[in-house]
A and B are shown apart, each in its own frame.
Chain A
Amino acid sequence: MTATTTTTDRTGAGARIEVRDLTKRFGSFTAVDQLSFSVEPGRITGFLGPNGAGKTTTLRMLLGLIRPTGGSATIEGQRYQDIASPMRMVGSALEATNFHPGRTGRDHLRVLAAATGIGDARVDEMLELVGIPAAARKRAGGYSMGMRQRLGLAAALLGDPKVLILDEPANGLDPEGIRWLRGFLRHLSRQGKTILVSSHMLQEVEQTVDDVVIINNGRLVKQGRMSELHGDAKTIVRTTDLDALAGALRVADVTSETQDDALVAATDDLRLIGDVALRAGLPVYELRAATTDLEALFFQLTEGTNRNLGDESAAPERDAITGQEGANG
């Protein structure tokens, strides 16, 4: 926990995002339902949930594009539309942000730059940064999804904001692009920016984010550290005599259990296990860190609330305004 003394202002550090009891109904359909979570300054937070969970609707409310039915969403205690120079505080790239097909990407940025009093030099700098300086001089009509995502990122960064809000930025990127994005977000995070990045796939962001906010059917399912999702570290090792190795590990203070034809040890210290096996004279056929099956975990988290109508402890103070539940499940 990064303790911030409440008396000092947070200028310099990224800003904090606070969502309180946020609700949006479209007619009788509740897209976002009493959602509360916060995003800590200077961290990368993954905003996760399956398609239709309400991520985009939540982010659009946070950005003043959709009017909440109830609750509030603030950045540094202010609604987006109350921030004096919003693009300098918050940079955002939303899903389905589009470009006029007849305008060049560069001119798209120049339009935004004009609205914020930013010069063309900064526009070109950002295009350079996201790697599309030449392509951005062509009309946007022919851009690939990857180009659009990069242009969207450049637009978000124009005002050198403290907060970045990105809706599914990995959509439509090839593996190379996703790797680039990962490094890019890490780089921005090191500058102290607060980053909120949505995705419908946990694996897409698992290596990037510090924290997660998981929603389903418009409700909070889980908020916490990414490391908590992973659970305790485990190592898988295979050898000829599992019991002998388990005994040797116990002597070295490492508990373990047999799973199929392998031993699962409660440590992430591969070297220690190798050394113990060597000393015990046991051959090692396989030695690797066990990864939590996050995909399965994510699936379980987001499916779970569908099946158990309204009794999941993860969703705080839910009330019975609507009987609305997702139909799938």
Chain B
Amino acid sequence: MIPAIKAELRKFFTTRLWWGMAIAMLVIGAGLAVAFGYFVTAGAESGAEGVPTGTAEQVANSVYTGGLSFGYLLTLVIGIMQIGSEYRHKTITSTLLAVPRRGQMMVAKVVALLVIGAIYGLIFLVGSVAAGALVLNAQGYSPFPSGGVFRTLALSLLVLGLWALIGLGVGILIPNQVAALLIAVAVAWIVEPIGGVLLSLWDFGRDHIVPYLPSAATQAMVNGVQQGGPDAAQPLSWWAGALVLAAYAAVLAGLGAWRTMRADIS
């Protein structure tokens, strides 16, 4: 099992994709922490209508995870490409010749993606915490008001890993890599937000569906400031959000694994 995981990690770190992604993670983490740093602190003070409000802890959380929705989009892409590029370049043949037990191959991919997600998470946090703490300080906020901030930081690593697993499942279920990338990004960034807004117009949807959408669950995990006033959907607690996102990852990666177990590789 360990050799198969090592092979997957080596596969990832021997193309140029990884350091391009690493730079993107660092820039996104730092850049959006700065932007959120000014935006959220301004809003929380003014108390004006339509701007986000929250505790000092939530303010810090929001700043450090400001770029997280870009970050998990990148790990979603990594997850898709981890399997999609194997189909596209037909390297899946040599992968399965080296690790012919497909369940083992899939577990190796899952573990490798969680590791990769955590590595990128650390890179992301290096950027966002360094830049965010500076801005919070400058704005007169405490950079680390409570222990909850550290929980949020740790959970961001998990968020990035889980979205990578969602990508793995999508990449298997939509074997055309380009189609998989377009569809996944469109769903995560366009379909889900619009769907969330529309569902919120309907009481049942707002209370029982919207909080369980993947991006809402992700936001709940990192517990940032709230936006949209009293009519907005109530987010899940952080651990429920984590369970919901983990369920998405398990279902999609599981479906993908099931399909991979049976497929003819020709």
Contact = CB atoms under 8 A, between A and B. Distances in A.
B261 to A, nearest CB: 10
B57 to A, nearest CB: 43
Contact of B264 (A67, A81, A107): A67
A65 B96 contact: yes
A57 B266 CA distance: 8
Contacts of A64: 96, 100
B266 A111 contact: no
A137 B230 CA distance: 60
B230 to A, nearest CB: 51
B46 interface: no
A102 interface: yes
A115 B93 contact: no
A304 B132 CA distance: 78
A101 B15 CA distance: 9
A115 B264 contact: no
A209 B4 CA distance: 35
A63 interface: yes
A297 B10 CA distance: 49
Interface in A194-210: none
Given A81-B101, A98-B89, A103-B14, A112 B94 contact: yes
Interface in A57-107: 57, 60, 63-67, 80-81, 83, 86-87, 92, 94, 96-104, 107
Contacts, number: 86
A110 B14 CA distance: 9
Contacts of B97: 63, 65, 86-87, 92, 94, 112
Nearest to B6: A114
Contact of A111 (B10, B100, B262): B10
A115 B3 CA distance: 5
**Interface range on chain B: under 10, 10 to 19, 20 to 34, or 35 or more?**
20 to 34
B100 A63 contact: yes
B103 to A, nearest CB: 10
Nearest to B92: A65
**Interface range on chain A: under 10, 10 to 19, 20 to 34, or 35 or more?**
20 to 34
A127 interface: no
B96 A116 contact: no
A65 B265 contact: yes
Interface in B1-42: 3-4, 6-7, 10-11, 14-17
B84 to A, nearest CB: 12
Contacts of A116: 3, 98
A65 B264 contact: yes
B93 A100 contact: no
A172 interface: no
B227 interface: no
Given A80-B100, A86-B97, A102 B16 contact: yes
Interface in B86-140: 89-91, 93-102
B94 A155 contact: yes
Contacts of B4: 115
B142 interface: no
A283 interface: no
A94 B93 contact: yes
Interface string A44-58: 000000000000110
Given A57-B266, A81-B101, A96 B93 contact: yes
A80 B101 CA distance: 9
A224 interface: no
Of listed A63, A101, A103, residue having the most chain B CB within 10 A:
A103
A108 B8 CA distance: 11
A131 interface: no
Contact of B262 (A67, A94, A103, A110): A67
Contacts of B99: 115
30 contacts: A57-B266, A63-B97, A65-B93, A65-B96, A66-B264, A66-B266, A67-B262, A67-B264, A81-B101, A81-B102, A83-B100, A86-B97, A86-B98, A86-B100, A94-B97, A97-B93, A99-B89, A100-B89, A102-B15, A103-B15, A104-B14, A108-B94, A111-B14, A112-B97, A112-B98, A114-B7, A115-B7, A115-B98, A115-B99, A116-B3
Given A94-B93, A97-B93, A108-B94, 12 more contacts: A56-B266, A65-B265, A67-B262, A86-B97, A96-B93, A98-B90, A100-B89, A102-B15, A107-B10, A110-B10, A111-B7, A114-B10
